[in-house]
Each structure stands twice: as C-alpha cells, then as structure tokens.
Amino acid sequence: MEHIKSDCAAKILLKNDNILILTHDHPDGDTLGSAYALCRGLHQLGKKAAVLCTEDVPETYSFMWAGVEVQCFEPEFIVTVDVADAVLLGAENEEKFKDKINLNIDHHSSNNLQADFVVLESTAAATAEIVFDILKYWGVKIDVPMADCIFTGISTDTGCFRYSNTTARSHNIAAFLIEAGANSHDINQTFFETKTRVYAALERLALDFLTLYFDGACAVITVTQAMLEQSGATASECDRISALPRQIEGVKVGVTLRETQNGSFKASIRTNGPVNAAELAGKLGGGGHVRAAGCQLEGPLEKALENLLRVVEEEIS
C-alpha cells in the first residue's frame, strides 16, 4: 500500500483502462458525486469506466448518471471513492473486490481500506474535492453534469457549506463549478430545502423519541423499524435526521440510532465543540470525521444505548 497525492493518482488512472468505480453502500451525495464525476471524466478521455454500488441508489441522484453511457467490460483497475472501510462496500462488493482494489480515494482520517495506492486527504471537506483536482489535472472539460456531481458531493458533505469542515477550498471549487454551470440552487433546494412527505412523517415520529442526557449535553433520536414502516420511509431518508439532535442548544453530542433489519443499530454521531466524533465512534468500533462519524451497535435498544452513553459520558467529561 502506497500513499500518493491526487496528481499521482491522476497519472496512474491515465495509464489504465476498463476502470470500475465502487461507492460505499447506503450511498450519499459525496460517494455518488465523486464516482460519477470521475466516470464522466474517464469517458471523456476515451476510457471504459463504470460505477458500481451494491444498493439501489435513490432517484434524487438520477441527474448524476443521466446520459452516461453504460459500458460492459471486464474490470482491470478498481477505484473506490469515499469508502473508509471494506465493510462499507456492502457485503456483495466487499466479497468480490476487497482484495483487488487498486486505488482508494478518500477524506476519512479513519480510512483503513486496503489498496495498492491510497489518496487520503483528511482536510478535504468531501472526496469530491479530491476528484475535482484529478479532473483539473487531466484538463478534461468540466461540463454541467460533472459540475453538478462535484457540487452535490461538496454541498451535501458540508451541510450546505455550514459545517466546520467547510474551507476556502470548498468555496473556491464551488465558485468554479457555478461558473461552469452547476445548478447550485436546484441542488441545494433538493438536498436542504425539500422534504419528501414520507420524510416529514418519519421526522415527526422520530422527534417524539428525542431524549436528552447529561444535562442536555447529549441528544439521542431513535428510529425504529416500526417507525420506518409506519412512515413508509427508507433507510436513506434517515440520513437527514442525523443532523437534528446536534441542532439543539447546549448539545455537544447528537446521536441518531437507526434500527437495522437484524435488530442492531447504526449510530450516526454529530458533535459540537470539543468532542471528537471520530474518536468517540472509534471507541465503539466505528470511525469517521471530527464532527461526523458512525458506528454499529448491537441490539436490543437498551443495550445499544447503554454502550453508547457510557462512551459519550467519557468523552464529554
């Protein structure tokens, strides 16, 4: 495994063809935006490339692959984008590809995915910022769909340019993309101003179960399978709920516990002030960023909560 910079990754990609790009499961705007921008760039260079995700991708992202030629080929070079751990590839892709990854492009400091080459920039707000540098290095034309892909990655990973990971670089790239024709307003409207009715129903149910701990320093929202069923929401619609607990005044650690089908819980951890979310999640076997991280907790709920709160208490005090 060799750590390299993005320009070196750009050169390596130029020397290869039949490139398969893998996203993480439960895909978000950054992994998909990075993957499709890279795929579009490779197509412009006359290379064969395709994106593969183990899960169905929500229709909200369909603008990313609109007009992308579907190419069939035997993969010769495998790239992952925004994938911090092999398990996040999803069971199917993990089994098929985890020992065959050639290039791993990511911004999670906790990244431990095995690959021949790794581009890891933990100061990048989104993997899409790194992909942008690769496209610039190639000198390909950043057309509107590519600009939309990269813009979505940065905007969604920075909570619409509000989170503390947002940098001048994020804004500079966004400015370039807007000049290139990115539909920034529509994208922000879709991802930050519009709630599906199903999501609104889920949010209402989940907020009923918001609980504060440690004098209000920790807020926990639980989303059960029953709530998903009652509202008709999918797991991907839970993502937005993760931002809510931290929004409450005085909260240092906001956690959303989402019950999975097998009864375990996925914890999305968001922090304010001094608490490092990646460290907190790391103590529970997960990882992520300083302000946003995640881990998996065994059920039942009481046990998951007990384990979570024990570690939160340590981190808060």
Q: Which residues bind Mn ion (CB under 5 A)?
A: 30, 82, 127, 157
Minimum CB distance to Mn ion smaller for 82 or for 237: 82
- What is the rounded CA–CA span in Å between residue 206 and residue 25? 23
* Side-chain half-sphere exposure of 299, counting CA atoms within 13 A: 15
Strand partners, 52: 22
Residue sitting closest to Mn ion (CB): 30
Minimum CB distance to Mn ion smaller for 105 or for 311: 105
Q: How far is the CB of 307 from Mn ion (least distance, A)?
A: 26
Cα 268 to chain centroid, rounded: 12
Q: How far is the CB of 223 from Mn ion (least distance, A)?
A: 22
Q: How far is the CB of 125 from Mn ion (least distance, A)?
A: 8
Minimum CB distance to Mn ion smaller for 18 or for 109: 109
Minimum CB distance to Mn ion smaller for 47 or for 107: 107
Q: How far is the CB of 314 from Mn ion (least distance, A)?
A: 27
- What is the rounded CA–CA span in Å between residue 131 and residue 196? 30
Q: How far is the CB of 126 from Mn ion (least distance, A)?
A: 5
Minimum CB distance to Mn ion smaller for 31 or for 231: 31
DSSP H helical ranges for the chain? 6-14, 29-44, 91-97, 127-138, 144-157, 168-179, 184-188, 197-207, 225-231, 277-282, 301-316
- What is the rounded CA–CA span in Å between residue 113 and residue 101? 9
